[in-house]
Structure 1
């Protein structure tokens, strides 16, 4: 098969074999000799990555796994805060201190629910765009540290809040910083691990979302019976645990070698690679691949600004990144934050609703672990589309059950809907949830990865703002009171998303970033990505 690549900026066609993969002599930087790596070394590293099994990768890159998981701890904080608020709406003491009585029951008014939950999606919009600049100027490590310090500071406002306006301010300020972690974590994970680990470590971001939600539910389940302010102040204070752990370990973390290469710090990049791999690993071939991929993207004029994400060379990649991330929202993920509240509205007793909420996320945890196994053996495209199809069917069944005659007096239907929501969350967390982050990182060009992720995060969060405004009005008993019929809304949107995903999401499993650059630059059809041969190397 033709292995040539087309430079879309200059209209040139040339063979990859003719492309100069050598370095001009030996360059000394610091005490490390770099740049004297031949094209053979780059090809050797690429072939080695393709041949490496998951078990071999775990043994070869144990520290890369550890540091990737460490940076993903920010996602736990990102998920903890909005999930906490969603559960507080069903907490009796929080309802009494911050709500009003409606038909003999305490509730939080829908406008205030919207205002409180707005902090997370607004923060992701602003924080995502704001994070990419310091990430490129100061690196992933320093940006992460600064954001963690700010998060710890803004928790004080939430902890001492005794009125809804003060709590809204604390949530909005905290959300601005929490939004940055959704960009930092997947970008770092995708840049410190080999192909065999890339799927698992980038999908681990989703597991951190689940863990953050699960911890929030667990803490609220333990404090919701307290008859004082600690019923909600205690869960807010729990957020200080993560900054404490992160700030202790961060000074020892290696910087992303891809970022270091883009800064011209090849010697530091080699040091970082040595810290990410086992001591016996020769990292020079890997460094050669990083340098060569960066050089290729310069030749393809991939660029490094937000506007470059929308140039022809990157536009398709940006569309796919935005699409897979946005589908998380429009397929119903924001219902997770309302799970316990939804269960109470469906007629389940408060204690059972909280227990169901914890079980809801525990199932999601197991689903994400299953996705790791699936990612090793199956393609991203297959898992994503199959899972999304399951979500469509489940949502429509949940909605249809809500139309049953005499629904209010048939508790069995409420339990059936709750059970189907558990199955929905399981399907989401082995497919659309984790695989989204894998595709998001793999389709974006390395030079604009942080900005592509930022744009996708911002669009997803903007849709989240719409859902944050809409859902309280759709489900609250003093508003539309749609109950399970909300499944028709999300099921319809998920079906439209499935059609898009089938025609637009390519298979990226087992590809180096250089290979993906080449395939996207050639404008391959979606179905051709799985079998296309680059430079004589089979996927």
Structure 2
């Protein structure tokens, strides 16, 4: 067989270039379909026009409170004397929780979330968002029931895994539903509300636990487990009355039903015919893009410039964990076994979660002004310094050192929440290549679950007095990981602020150096 001619090679290259150009144009169409007068108006003006959209979006996002509450419950119960008496053992005159079970209860919830999110995507795309919320609620009611009835560590683990499945449903659907029904001007605020509700859930759990730690019976922690039922029951009721996503209905050819649901979501003065037309135009562009993606595979995520973008997208979740979140989340248990008064640890935790909520609100306003890269670099550097100071304090066996460790571990969210916590999700979603976006995001979510699992599993072994017993010195582990992250972010993560998806495709294709992204203008070069 004769080798391909130069003409054939040129045609092949031209085809690939055209494919990338068409892909970028399609993404721009999807991103800017709703570039109408209403889309350009301010958030406050839009909010006054769409009160029902805000109501249903916030109701959907409130489902994410269960994750925050679950995280809070995991942190609180292992520090409660009543829980330790039921599931712990005595070591050196002190009640401890097995490092293995502590690790499994936290880590396997994350695994359940991963599996739940995968199942949810399949179910909700076929049966709708309302059905997805309903199934998630049913799973949560079952999982919480097992947690409440648990008399052995294994049964408690089973309950946490099943509840983790429901968390996968809720976290996937909350942002999906809100982004699909919200007008463009309100979309960033309504989807960002998920982080706010996660921290609200943690704060609520700590608030309840603060009234129960002095009780030495199973009633101390069972109330916390039972309180979780409030969330799936509320979401189940919301799922019955909420309008189905018009986007889902249009994707499945139910145009008339989509129009009726738009009328339920908006005031009578709203031009729902125009919104329906915009949705259909955007879906047509999505379908064309999906058709182009049929020839791609996960292997393409690791080819050419896609490999650089995949590294950044997945690496953001490693950075999240490397800044010490797994260590901070064990503050209640760690400080309790270190000798700090239980009442004080709960009060500090309350203040810490309150600060985290404030940090999330701050991130809504500063990210678009400061930029992604500076905020990320600052957050990683500050966390490295804080963790180093905790490690140094852990070298001294004094009351003052213990108090310092307690305050830093609980209030580190003041620096983490508005920087690393907020920016990681944004960068991971923005940096993906348009042609393999879905596959890159799948790899990123898998990386998140894997790194979270590892960090949450090893942390109890580092701090338990019958294991490594590092105390505050365990912070040195995450300090080292912070410095690794800082170097990686400096050389690898560019500034994405101000660029559309189509522009980013061009900038990456030109192999633009990391520190030149901010000034890059691909279409003018």
Alignment of 1:359-438 (within 5 A): 359-403=351-395, 407-408=396-397, 410-438=398-426
Whole-Å Cα distance in 2 between the matches of residues 262 and 222 of structure 1? 49
Change (3 A) 1:241 1:336: farther
Q: Give the drift of 1:242.
A: 0.5
Match of 2:460 among 449, 472, 487: 472
Whole-Å Cα distance in 2 between the matches of residues 49 and 511 of structure 1? 22
Q: Match of 2:43?
A: 54
Unaligned runs of 5+ in 1: 1-6, 22-38
Whole-Å Cα distance in 2 between the matches of residues 82 and 96 of structure 1? 21
Deviates more, 1:135-144 or 1:212-221: 135-144
Deviates more, 1:338-347 or 1:312-321: 312-321
Alignment of 1:226-305 (within 5 A): 226-265=215-254, 279-281=269-271, 282-283=274-275, 286-287=278-279, 290-291=282-283, 293-295=285-287, 297-298=289-290, 300-301=292-293
Whole-Å Cα distance in 2 between the matches of residues 326 and 280 of structure 1? 44
Alignment of 1:455-534 (within 5 A): 455-509=443-497, 526=514, 530=518
SS at match of 2:95: strand
Match of 2:344 among 348, 352, 359: 352
Unaligned runs of 5+ in 2: 1-11
Deviates more, 1:239-248 or 1:176-185: 176-185
SS at match of 1:46: coil
- Are positions 1:155 and 2:144 aligned together? yes
Change (3 A) 1:13 1:446: closer
Kept in 1: contact 2:349–2:410 (CA 8 A): no
Kept in 2: contact 1:155–1:237 (CA 8 A): yes
Q: Give the drift of 1:430.
A: 1.0
Deviations 1:39-68 (A, max 9, x none): 9x9978437587443333433444444333
Kept in 2: contact 1:187–1:441 (CA 8 A): no
Change (3 A) 1:290 1:79: same
Whole-Å Cα distance in 1 between the matches of residues 516 and 50 of structure 2? 31
SS at match of 2:75: helix
Whole-Å Cα distance in 2 between the matches of residues 130 and 493 of structure 1? 33
Deviations 1:287-327 (A, max 9, x none): 26623641562465377986776676865554433222332
Q: Give the drift of 1:69.
A: 2.8
Change (3 A) 1:531 1:68: farther
Q: Give the drift of 1:195.
A: 5.0
Q: Please tell me the root mean square deviation across aligned C-alpha atoms, in Å.
A: 3.8
Deviations 1:459-513 (A, max 9, x none): 2122122122211110011111112222211122122223333444444556666
Q: Match of 1:24?
A: none
Whole-Å Cα distance in 2 between the matches of residues 453 and 14 of structure 1? 21
Q: Give the drift of 1:183.
A: 2.9
Deviates more, 1:310-319 or 1:485-494: 310-319
Q: Give the drift of 1:267.
A: 5.6
Match of 2:133 among 144, 148, 165: 144
Whole-Å Cα distance in 2 between the matches of residues 456 and 52 of structure 1? 33
Whole-Å Cα distance in 1 between the matches of residues 223 and 512 of structure 2? 53
Change (3 A) 1:198 1:498: farther
- Are positions 1:340 and 2:332 aligned together? yes
Q: Give the drift of 1:454.
A: 4.5
Whole-Å Cα distance in 2 between the matches of residues 286 and 58 of structure 1? 20
Alignment of 1:34-183 (within 5 A): 45-46=34-35, 48=37, 51-183=40-172
Whole-Å Cα distance in 2 between the matches of residues 301 and 148 of structure 1? 34
Q: Match of 1:208?
A: 197
Whole-Å Cα distance in 1 between the matches of residues 57 and 387 of structure 2? 34
Kept in 2: contact 1:46–1:512 (CA 8 A): no
- Are positions 1:10 and 2:2 aligned together? no
- Are positions 1:323 and 2:315 aligned together? yes
Kept in 2: contact 1:95–1:106 (CA 8 A): yes
Kept in 2: contact 1:217–1:354 (CA 8 A): yes
Deviates more, 1:333-342 or 1:500-509: 500-509
SS at match of 2:452: helix
Kept in 2: contact 1:506–1:527 (CA 8 A): yes
Kept in 2: contact 1:190–1:441 (CA 8 A): no
TM-score by length of 1: 0.81
Whole-Å Cα distance in 2 between the matches of residues 302 and 157 of structure 1? 42
Deviates more, 1:465-474 or 1:499-508: 499-508
Whole-Å Cα distance in 2 between the matches of residues 302 and 518 of structure 1? 22
Whole-Å Cα distance in 1 between the matches of residues 217 and 48 of structure 2? 50
Whole-Å Cα distance in 2 between the matches of residues 497 and 191 of structure 1? 34
Whole-Å Cα distance in 2 between the matches of residues 354 and 527 of structure 1? 43
Q: Which has the higher helix share?
A: 2
Whole-Å Cα distance in 2 between the matches of residues 449 and 191 of structure 1? 18
Kept in 1: contact 2:112–2:168 (CA 8 A): yes
Whole-Å Cα distance in 1 between the matches of residues 494 and 334 of structure 2? 36
SS at match of 1:106: strand
Deviations 1:82-119 (A, max 9, x none): 43122111101111121111122211121221232233
